[in-house]
Amino acid sequence: MRLTPTERDRLLLRSAAELARARRARGLKLNVPEATALIADTVCEAARDGKRLAEAIEEARSVLGPDDVLAGVSDVVTEVHVEAVFDDGSRLAVVSSPIRGAVGLGEHAPGAVVPGPGAPQPEPTVHLHVRNTAPVPVSVTSHFHFFEANPRLDFDRAAAYGMRLCVPAGSSVRFDPHGEGEVGLVPIGGDRIAIGFAGLVDGPLDAPGAKSLALERAAACGYLGAARDGGAPASPAAQASPASPAAQASPITPAGAASPITPASPITPAGPAAQADADDRPEGTTA
């Protein structure tokens, strides 16, 4: 007998469901795999009997009650998904609240996520007014270098250098189109090395000249707020060094201009007149 992978899965589900029925018949309370298998098998059998999707789901909800399962099972088995073959084809049946009348244990349930004691949150050291000039919303995550945030956000970039949003890790702040608001910032911790982001720093934040160079790059790239208060000073590399006396003395021809040409000696064009002069010379005379 050859079985497809789907048929083998169906037999495995049926075996687990029969084991669950046998144990329940002996008065045992079912665990998570047993309860899940029994509910899913009920859906598949109802579909095989010719019932419709809604009828199969309702029948699966009536199989188990709170007294049929171990404590905490209803907190874990909150929804069962199974693909069953109905008269009109395969359908995915989603059985929500499969254990009827069950009262959950809440934070005392097995595997429940219980928040720990609240960690002290840092206080913002800088408050900035931010205006979104873009026609689309802009979101900035908690640990993004705020100085390098979207160029269409208008705020004091110099004050935001080396800072991040003072919000819980993993969260973000959204700025609506053409909206504005105030945000709190705290210094970036750790080694204070900014790699990536918008590529305006790509190195240690506190390196000598790093801030002025980053402001210069931001202003050149059109970041709003980077040139506030007169703009960032130019980097030493960008300032031209004075030319040497030798360089000042020698003339420089502008690019694209014609170089001066020393007039050449007169050249007699070849033509009838030149040929006539040659004919008038005495015989044996060379030009």
pLDDT digits (tens, 9 = 90+) for 186-214: 999 999 999 989 999 999 999 999 999 99
For residues 87 and 51, state if they share a domain: yes
Domain containing 76 equals 5-104
CATH number of the domain enclosing 215? 2.10.150.10
pLDDT score of 1: 85
For residues 97 and 173, state if they share a domain: no
Residue at 109 is within a domain: no
In the predicted model, residues of the chain with pLDDT beneath 50 are: 230-287
* Residues whose CB is less than 8 angstroms from the CB of residue 254 and which lie 6 or more positions away in sequence, other chains included: none
Question: Which of the listed residues 181, 204, 231 is the one where a domain comes to its end?
Answer: 231
Return the amino acid letter for 168.
P
Residue at 98 is within a domain: yes
Domain total of the chain: 2
Helix-helix angle 32-48:53-61, to 10 degrees: 150
Q: Tell me how crowded residue 80 is: count the other CB atoms within 10 A of its CB.
A: 23
For residues 160 and 226, state if they share a domain: yes
Residue at 118 is within a domain: no
For residues 135 and 92, state if they share a domain: no
For residues 16 and 94, state if they share a domain: yes
For residues 83 and 47, state if they share a domain: yes
For residues 149 and 201, state if they share a domain: yes
Cβ atoms of 147 and 160 closer than 8 Å: yes
What is the rounded radius of gyration, in angstroms, for the C-alpha atoms of the chain?
42
Using CA atoms, how far apart are residues 221 and 233, in angstroms rounded to an integer? 15
pLDDT score of 119: 65
Query: In this predicted model, what pLDDT tens digit does every residue of 122-152 receive, in sequence order?
Result: 899 999 999 999 998 899 999 999 999 999 9
Using CA atoms, how far apart are residues 187 and 124, in angstroms rounded to an integer? 9
Cβ atoms of 168 and 142 closer than 8 Å: yes
Residue at 181 is within a domain: yes
Residue at 191 is within a domain: yes
Q: Tell me how crowded residue 133 is: count the other CB atoms within 10 A of its CB.
A: 16
Q: Which residue has the tokens 């949003």?
A: 165
3-class DSSP string for the chain: CCCCHHHHHHHHHHHHHHHHHHHHHCCCCECHHHHHHHHHHHHHHHHHCCCCHHHHHHHHHCCECHHHECCCHHHHCCEEEEEEEECCEEEEEEEECCECCCCCCHHHCCCCCCCCCCCCCCCCCEEEEEEECCCCCEEEECCCCHHHCCCCEECCCCCCCCEEECCCCCCEEEECCCCEEEEEEEECCCCCEECCCCCCCCEECCCCCHHHHHHHHHHHCCCCCCCHHHCCCCCHHHCCCCCCHHHHHCCCCCCCCCCCCCCCCCCCCCCHHHHHHHHHCCCCCCC
Q: Which token pair is 9?
A: 């899965």
For residues 227 and 130, state if they share a domain: yes
Return the amino acid letter for 94.
V
pLDDT score of 22: 97
Residue at 192 is within a domain: yes
Question: Which of the listed residues 214, 231, 248 is the one where a domain comes to its end?
Answer: 231
Residue at 260 is within a domain: no
Cβ atoms of 100 and 62 closer than 8 Å: yes
CATH number of the domain enclosing 20? 3.30.280.10
For residues 89 and 143, state if they share a domain: no
Return the amino acid letter for 25.
A
Residue at 115 is within a domain: no
pLDDT score of 121: 75
Q: Tell me how crowded residue 112 is: count the other CB atoms within 10 A of its CB.
A: 13
